[in-house]
Amino acid sequence: MVAAVGDIERFSSPEKLVSYFGLNPRVRQSGDKPAYHGRITKQGRAHARSMLVEASWVISGVPGPLRAFFMRIRDKRGKHVAAVATARKLAVIVWHMLTKDEDYIWSRSALLDWKLRKLELTAGYPSHRGGRAKGIRRRLQQQVVARQRARDDRQRRGSLPSLRRYMETAITERALGRRT
């Protein structure tokens, strides 16, 4: 998606991204008459649009809010219209994720961790095979490193005095007549 879109900042709203993919419906309106909403415009990146529609077909089989949306539209208007509507919704979600730099809120964390680990192994990272002891040892080493980093960060920032010490100093100075 990022390759098809380029810089997401070009699109000030999700509707503009949807229009870029050609997933927005045609609207014909003249005067005070009600608007006619037709098929999608198909103006824009055809390959990216087809990727979104294919992704929506996959999403239709995975439990979650997008599948519920797909099923709701499918029951009313048919499966092909539902696939395109889900693709449009997916484009809106992609816009929000890229502009706000957030992860998908409904992602399954265990599956994501498994996929990232598989990608690491493919990239050549060590496999960390061994018994439970090696995993525990590695986790302890990671905790030690995290504590050292936190301690170094506190020292760099200059650790803040505790509230109790601050209050004792303020009370003592007030008793001596100094201003805090």
| Tens place of pLDDT per residue across the chain (180 aa) | 788 888 889 999 999 999 899 898 877 888 888 887 777 878 878 898 999 999 999 999 989 999 999 999 999 999 999 999 999 999 999 999 999 988 888 888 888 888 888 998 899 888 877 666 667 777 788 888 888 887 777 666 655 555 555 666 666 666 666 554
Report yes or no: 28 and 54 within 8 Å, Cβ to Cβ.
no
Question: Bridge partners of 37?
Answer: 27
Q: Looking at the structure, do residues 148 and 66 belong to the same domain, yes or no?
A: no
pLDDT in the model for residue 2: 81
Same domain, 11 and 82: yes
Q: Which two tokens stand for residue 27?
A: 């609207």
Total domains present in the chain: 2
pTM of the model: 0.61
In a domain? residue 122: no
Domain limits for position 96: 2-106
Degrees, nearest 5: CA angle 38-84-92: 100
Do 52 and 91 form a contact (C-beta atoms < 8 A)?
yes
Q: Are residues 95 and 133 in the same domain?
A: no
In this structure, the answer to whether residues 136 and 99 fall within a common structural domain is no
Name the domain boundary from 106, 141, 164.
106
Whether 123 is covered by a domain: the verdict is no
